[in-house]
Amino acid sequence: MFSIFTFGRDILKIRKALALSCLLFIVGIIAGWLGTGEMERFLMQQLKGLGSISENLRNSSNPQLSFFAFIFMNNSIKGVLIIFLGALFGIAPVVFLLINGGVIGYLVHSFVLQGRDVFELIVLGLLPHGIIEIPAILIACAFGLQFGAKTASSIIGRNRAGGDWSSFMRQTLTASVWIVILLLIAAVIESTVTFALLS
């Protein structure tokens, strides 16, 4: 039930939702890059909040352990929640993808405008852990979107589209386990490799 091969097969079954998840994330990045007015202020608030948390963690007695604990707990809780909150017609995953994509787009654009090294930001700041974390979040959101689609299909009576709920709930449990594992690996990398590269 929880084998990585089962997880892989489950991902293939929701490939349309995964494609939509990737598309929404890209739209978020573009919106963040182009963001002005209220959107820009909102994204700045998100980054300031993250900056404040980062500063507090750096000032702790064991910064690396603090970063690891915060990153892992924050991401894994959100990663699992976003799957099951997707039951509410997929709204939560859509918002989550747009906001997170927007933050990345805005951050990269800010670096460009300030003449800072974007290569350093992406290769040192995002790539080491992001190569695992971002796909894990995209997959979690894809399951959330699929959950929303199944809920809507069941409500409007499209039983065929709604499909087998027991099978899908098994898929969400398998996905939850592997997403937490992937985010654990990403948190270890972010609190060690990324932390060291950016220090």
pLDDT digit string (tens) for 123-162? 767 777 788 999 999 999 999 999 999 998 888 876 554 4
Task: Read off the pLDDT of each residue in 51-76 and give the average, rounded to a whole number.
Answer: 81
CB 98 within 8 A of CB 31: yes
Six token digits for residue 3 = 């084998």
How far is it, in rounded angstroms, from Cα 29 to Cα 103?
7
CB 76 within 8 A of CB 183: yes
Looking at residue 189, its amino acid is I
Q: Which domain holds residue 151?
A: 4-198
CB 154 within 8 A of CB 168: no
Question: Which of 6-20, 61-75, 111-125 shows the lowest mean pLDDT across its residues?
Answer: 111-125
- State the Cα torsion 56-60-64-67 to the nearest 10°: -40
Please give the distance of CA 107 from its chain centroid, rounded to a whole number: 16
- pLDDT given at position 36: 67
- pLDDT given at position 77: 95
- DSSP secondary-structure letter at 5? H
Task: Read off the pLDDT of each residue in 80-102 and give the average, rounded to a whole number.
Answer: 94
Q: Find, among 113, 167, 176, the residue nearest to 139 by Cα.
A: 176
CB 102 within 8 A of CB 43: yes
How far is it, in rounded angstroms, from Cα 145 to Cα 94?
8
CB atoms under 10 Å from CB of 58, counted, come to: 13
Total of domains in the chain: 1
- pLDDT given at position 63: 78
What percentage of the chain's residues is helix, strand, coil (to nearest 5)?
85, 0, 15
Average pLDDT, the chain: 85
Question: Which of 158-162, 170-174, 183-187 shows the lowest mean pLDDT across its residues?
Answer: 158-162
**Residue 87, phi then psi, degrees to nearest 5:** -60, -25
> Could you tell me where the beta strands, DSSP code E, fall in 34-120?
none
pLDDT at position 4 over 70: yes
- pLDDT given at position 95: 95
